[in-house]
Amino acid sequence: MGKNKISVIISREYSIRVKKKSFILTTIFAPILMAAIFVVPMLIAAYSEDGNTLTVKVSDNSGIVMPYLESGGPLLFEDASGINIDTLKSEARSDEAVAVLIISQLDSNKNVSLSLYSGKQINADNQSRIRSMAEEAVEEYKLESYNIPQLDKIVEEIKADVKIDTFLIDDSSEGEKASKVEIYMVIGYITSFLIYMFIFMFGGMVMRSVIDEKSNRIVEVIVSSVKPFQLMMGKIIGVAAVGLTQFLIWIVLTLVLVAVAIPLFGPEEIMQGATVQTDQVTAIMENNGVDMDAVSAAMPVAGAESGVESFIDALSSINFTQIILCFLVYFLLGYLLYSGMFAAVGSAVDNEADTQQLSLPITVPLIVGLFIMLHTFQYPDSSLSFWASIIPFTSPMVMMARIAYGVPLWELLLSISLLIVTFLFLTYISGKIYRTGILMYGKKASWKDLSKWLKYKD
């Protein structure tokens, strides 16, 4: 009979939510927004060029940079050495398609400085191109000043390209498999962050739905005919079913929209946009001091057979079946654990603005788990990482950061068992708070009130 009551509550929670206009609208428009986030920036990047050529008149006082300024794309370089600077500036002031580049003489350290004048602001991409070509000219000049025969060949030969390949040794017939720490970090970060995001999203959905129900007198009839545990369990599973339904629809519609957008706008434009975006991000990272050579070293080189083979070997060493199963288990149990507490908070207040104080102890462990997850990438076997992957309030995020590195079965079973037990216990506690709090109106509950509600008999 108890199971039948739970199934009735689940059915009610599911049906009344999927029929709401808000559910239908968000289900339809969220995938459109997701697809737009993916496609629109690429199209903007692909069509960002205005098609106009900027003529850059160069006054090279160093005598070394001008040969390295190669025209191309929107930039056309003209040697204007010997022309009066004021005349060049006057031309740039009256014509937005003209800019003036003044290159200083070499200083005591054999460096130059650039001054760029224009009547219209020059974008960061063109500035970066000009600066990189000038840097190449100065570097070449400095190398040649050492007057070393075959300097270019020597420089090329002494460049170090040290890569480290890691292997996992096991007792299988293969003996060892290629390993890639970067791949493990990416998998762990994506899965952990998805769990964190979905717990917040679906948990907040449960809390808001409970607050809305306080104005619906039908709930008073429900709480008088079922036990608190049954009521809370039915509500949590019902809202979870709604969230999963919406999430699956989002995935399908987003893939369909992206698949339609690519042939509609043209795969070449999409790829061009992606390339332009990548170049812009690279330029920004380089300008902020990021060593792109170090970043590139961690990725397989396109067209390099050994790099691709190493990447494939590293992927083959990852147990994706285990990762997917663990992701589903920790996502589901993590949601069930936190949604009961969110529901209890929702039942104790009359509006969402009053939830901040009560929801803080719930959100803090989630945020702490996210920070420990970042620590786990570097130290997956540390004591902090171990205990955080066992403690139920942080284990959904932290364990997914460890799982790709390999976790003993007993640790997995212990972590999952504690999650289940804690979920059932908190669902019982939250049910008692919910049953009393859902009938309280016009008063903001305190922690003292919550402790009193726990003592009430069913």
Instruction: Give the tens place of pLDDT for each residue, 316-337.
Output: 666 777 788 888 888 888 888 8
| Sequence ranges of the chain with CATH classification 3.40.190.10 | 54-158
Residue 32 binned pLDDT confidence (cut-offs 50, 70, 90): confident
Residue 299 binned pLDDT confidence (cut-offs 50, 70, 90): very low
- Nearest in space to 9 (alpha carbons), one of 159, 214, 223, 203: 223
Q: How far apart are CA 329 and CA 325, in angstroms?
A: 6
Residue 70 binned pLDDT confidence (cut-offs 50, 70, 90): confident
Percent of the chain with pLDDT over 70: 68
pLDDT at 259 over 80: no
Mean pLDDT of the residues in the chain: 75
Inter-residue contact 236 to 426 (CB < 8 Å)? no
Residue 416 binned pLDDT confidence (cut-offs 50, 70, 90): very high
Q: Residue 34 half-sphere exposure, CB side, CA atoms within 13 Å?
A: 18
pLDDT at 195 over 60: yes
pLDDT at 354 over 80: no
Q: How far apart are CA 118 and CA 298, in angstroms?
A: 40
- Give the best-scoring range by mean pLDDT among 27-36, 354-363, 405-414, 436-445: 405-414
Percent of the chain with pLDDT over 90: 3
pLDDT at 305 over 80: no
Inter-residue contact 398 to 415 (CB < 8 Å)? no
Q: Hey, what CATH class is 54-158 in?
A: alpha beta
What are 127-136's pLDDT values in tens digits? 888 888 888 8
Predicted pLDDT at 418 = 93
Q: How far apart are CA 104 and CA 201, in angstroms?
A: 57
pLDDT at 178 over 50: no
Mean pLDDT of 171-188: 59
For 76, 126, 168, 296, the CA distances from 276, given in Å and listed in that order, are: 20, 13, 38, 17
- Nearest in space to 31 (alpha carbons), one of 253, 258, 262: 253
Predicted pLDDT at 53 = 78
Predicted pLDDT at 331 = 85
- Name the region of 69 (left: φ>0; alpha: ψ -120 to 50; beta: rest): beta
Q: How far apart are CA 397 and CA 385, in angstroms?
A: 11
Predicted pLDDT at 220 = 62
426-430, 442-446, 447-451: which range is least confident on average? 442-446
pTM: 0.61
pLDDT at 176 over 50: no
Mean pLDDT of 142-166: 70
Q: How far apart are CA 311 and CA 146, in angstroms?
A: 41
Q: How far apart are CA 100 and CA 85, in angstroms?
A: 9
